[in-house]
């Protein structure tokens, strides 16, 4: 009935172990997402699942289907490549947005951009107070 019963044990065991490893990593990543304190810490947590976690699951899939169909099944590699390409895009977008928000809100936890060079005739003492004020204002408006 279940095709999984037909595959030999020496394939079944590593497949199961790889699956468990992948699922475990994803679980740890999710827990981290739940538990970690700041956004910048949290953003690292899911990468556990999207790197080694997904790699384990894909390896398990390759192993299992190769054994089942008695030919090498390799297209999971493509999935891996696309994960590698696309995951950073998402995370970078999120991190950039968070950084921008923190800077506009005047948070002291994030590094400031490099200060502009002094121009003749401009008042150099203003910027800090301006940042705080505009941050508060923007906080009211919301995003």
Binding footprint of other proteins on the chain (CB under 8 A) = 82, 85-86, 88-89, 92-93, 96, 99-100, 103-104, 106, 111-117, 127, 130-131, 133-135, 138
**Residue 68 beta carbon to other proteins: minimum distance, rounded to whole angstroms:** 19
Residue closer to other proteins by CB (options 8, 111) is: 111
Which of 58, 102 has the CB closer to other proteins?
102
Which one, 17 or 82, has the nearer CB to other proteins? 82
Least Å from the CB of residue 60 to other proteins = 19
Q: How many CA atoms lie within 13 A of 83 on its CB side?
A: 18
* Closer residue to other proteins (CB): 9 or 85: 85
For the CB of residue 103, give the shortest distance to other proteins in the complex, in Å.
Answer: 4
Minimal distance, residue 27 CB to other proteins, in Å: 16
What string of DSSP letters covers the chain? --GGGGS-HHHHHHHHHHHHHHHHHHHHHHHHHHH-SSHHHHTTTTHHIIIIIHHHHHHHHHHHHHHHHTS---THHHHHHHHHHHHHHHHHHHHHHHHHHHHHTT-TTSPPPPPPPP-TTS-SSSHHHHHHHHHHHHHHH--
């Amino acid at each position: 009935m279940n095709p999984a019963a037909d595959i030999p044990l020496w394939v079944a065991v590593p497949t199961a172990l790889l699956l468990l490893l992948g699922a475990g990593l994803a679980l740890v990543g999710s827990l981290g997402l739940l538990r970690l304190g700041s956004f910048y810490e949290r953003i690292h947590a899911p990468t556990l699942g999207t790197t080694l976690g997904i790699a384990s699951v894909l390896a398990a899939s390759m192993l299992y289907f190769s054994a089942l169909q008695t030919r090498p099944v390799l297209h999971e590699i493509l999935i891996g490549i696309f994960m590698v390409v696309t995951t950073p895009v998402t995370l970078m977008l999120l991190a950039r947005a968070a950084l921008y928000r923190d800077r506009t809100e005047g948070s002291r936890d994030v590094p400031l951009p490099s200060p502009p060079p002094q121009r003749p005739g401009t008042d150099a003492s203003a910027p800090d107070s301006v940042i705080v004020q505009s941050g508060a204002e923007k906080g009211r408006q919301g995003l």
